[in-house]
């Protein structure tokens, strides 16, 4: 009986250690990289508002808010995101918003999964098929991946602008899975993260061209 109780306690403690921890979105814990950032309130919750520096014109670049003190390799990242189009957004803007992870110190390497909310309900099946995107900076941006491995790093999911989308990314080794809005099945599976299994680094809140992005409810477990 005693051994059984000890085993139960050990399992409980292990479960607690793996539970997701809230990340406080305070100015001291955030680092803007080629973006404009502010702390605001939206839908009665504290949010980080992020838009890309207009001087950054290329796509799939390190344009994000780093979460200071995060050294992430394997685990789970959860965040609620909402995107709108800026008044100055180009015609090609899609509301790009997502999560970068394993970002190194000088922002020269990272993995990223983001969504294109305008594509989720487009009256065009090809655009719908490009609702979710994985890319790896700097060598494997979306255009290269789409050309060399069409459909492998993109997928469809129902979503729209100006609505909260819950993203959960589960990372282990060279695999990353994206779950949306508490669905039990992943919306995207990446089996070959381009930087391999050993890269670790910061988690970051990512936006791209034409996006006014909002981030809330960040939780991290390792």
CATH number of the domain that 113 lies in?
Answer: 2.60.120.560
Task: Name, in order, each residue with C-beta under 8 angstroms of 43's C-beta and a sequence gap of 6 or more.
Answer: 164
Q: Let me know if residue 13 belongs to a domain.
A: no
Contact (CB, 8 A) for 83 and 206: no
Domain membership flag for residue 9: no
> Does 7 score more than 60 pLDDT?
no
Beta bridge partners of 140: 136
8 belongs to a structural domain: no
pTM tops 0.85, yes or no: yes
Q: What is the 3-class SS of 28-63, one letter each residue? A: HHEEEECEEEEEEEECCEEEEEEEECCCCCCCCCCC
User: Which range marks the domain in which residue 118 is found?
Assistant: 20-221
Burial of 8 (0-12, 13-18, 19+ CB in 10 A): exposed
φ, ψ of residue 142 in degrees (nearest 5): -60, -40
Does 3 fall in a domain? no
Q: What is the pLDDT of residues 185-211, one digit of tens each?
A: 999 999 999 999 999 999 999 999 999
Asked if the structure places residue 69 within a domain, the reply is: yes
Residues facing residue 201 across a β-bridge: 72
* Residue 190 lies inside a defined structural domain of this protein: yes
List, for residues 119-146, the tens digit of each pLDDT value.
999 999 999 999 999 999 999 999 999 9
Whether 5 maps to a domain, the answer reads: no
Domain membership of residue 194 (yes or no) is: yes
Q: How many structural domains comprise the chain?
A: 1
């Amino acid at each position: 009986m005693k051994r059984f109780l000890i085993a139960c306690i050990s399992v409980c403690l292990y479960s607690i250690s793996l539970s997701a921890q809230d990340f406080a979105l305070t100015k001291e814990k955030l680092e803007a990289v080629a973006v404009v950032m502010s702390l605001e309130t939206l839908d009665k919750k504290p949010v980080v508002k992020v838009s890309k520096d207009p001087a950054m014109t290329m796509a799939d670049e390190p344009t994000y808010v780093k979460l200071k003190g995060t050294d992430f390799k394997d685990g789970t990242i959860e965040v609620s995101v909402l995107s709108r189009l800026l008044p100055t957004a180009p015609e090609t803007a899609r509301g790009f918003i997502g999560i970068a992870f394993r970002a190194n110190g000088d922002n020269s390497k990272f993995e990223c999964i983001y969504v294109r909310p305008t594509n989720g309900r487009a009256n065009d099946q090809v655009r719908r098929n490009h609702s979710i995107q994985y890319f790896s900076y700097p060598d494997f941006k979306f255009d290269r991946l789409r050309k060399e491995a069409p459909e492998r790093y993109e997928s469809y999911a129902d979503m729209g602008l100006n609505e909260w989308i819950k993203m959960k990314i589960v990372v282990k080794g060279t695999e990353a899975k994206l779950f949306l809005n508490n669905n039990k099945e992943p919306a995207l599976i990446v089996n070959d993260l381009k930087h391999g299994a050993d890269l670790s680094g910061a988690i970051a809140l990512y936006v791209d061209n034409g996006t006014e992005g909002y981030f809330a409810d960040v939780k991290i477990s390792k």
